[in-house]
Amino acid sequence: MKILLLGYGKMGKTIEQIALDRGHEIAGRIDLQNRAELDTLGASDVDVAIEFSSPESAVANIQDCLKRGWPVVCGTTGWLGHRTEIEALCRETNGAFFYASNYSIGVNLFFRLNKILARFMKSYPSYRVSMTEVHHTEKKDAPSGTAITLAEGIMEELPTKKRWSSETAEQPDAVAIESLREGTVPGTHVVRYDSEVDTIEIKHVAHSRQGFALGAVIAGEWLAGRQGIFGMEDLLGETVAV
């Protein structure tokens, strides 16, 4: 399979190595410095594009690929205000678009556990829910896309929570998300329920970028030849009921 890499930072390089190890070919490596090279690639030069660039670049990258007929796997976060128009373009072009805020298999199991716990906690309003996410200092968006997905899962199950907030002070209708940027941390997410008598926590700690990168390559393998809009639930299947 011929994979186009959009974004060639640490994550892009990790994806490249995993893709090569799995027998794939790299069709191109596009970053801010050489974006004009995108125009040199023909429709048959790319089987799937994997997009891990920046919030500022992601929308144009995705649009350009869909217009060229290339399936897109996107892991960039911080651009989702444009998601409706991207999905409309995907339908208009009969394209294929796969988005996940996190491609780690473990994190996606954590998403499901988070929803199950929130469902249990609905009957215990004395517990206050909050979240902390920690990432490396180069991460530009905050809160992380993973934290927002976790908050959305909580909001689906707890009727009193209508939104998420970056303000850590308690707000009755919001899931508070504290965002910390430290060193080279790949990603840590903690969901916490506090009461006067105890605390319940669930936690996911990524040890490296390998899990994210492997999941993105697997998503690319799965997406090639398909049409439509997809996410990790489609890839993994309903192996755990939520």
What are the binding residues for (S)-2,3,4,5-tetrahydrodipicolinate?
A: 136, 145-146
**Does residue 204 have an active-site annotation?**
no
Give 69-114 as a DSSP string: T--EEE---S-GGGHHHHHHHHHHTT-EEEE-S---HHHHHHHHHH
CA distance 142 to 135: 9
Q: Which 3 state secondary structure label does DSSP give 212?
A: helix
Task: Show the tokens assigned to 73.
Answer: 């796997």
24 is catalytic: no
Query: Of 135, 161, 189, 204, which is the active-site residue?
Result: 135
Q: Which residues of 142-170 are buried (b: 16+ CB within 10 A; e: fewer)?
A: bbbbbbbbbbbbbbebbeebeebbeeeee
Per the listing, tokens 């997406």 go with 223
Give the pairing type, strands 48-51 and 2-6: parallel
The three-state secondary structure class of 146 is helix
Summarize the annotated binding site for NADP(+) as residue ranges.
Answer: 35
d(CA 122, CA 119): 5
Question: Which residues are documented as binding site for NAD(+)?
Answer: 75-77, 100-103
CA distances, 221 to each of 19, 60, 76 (Å): 10, 23, 18
The set of catalytic residues is: 135, 139
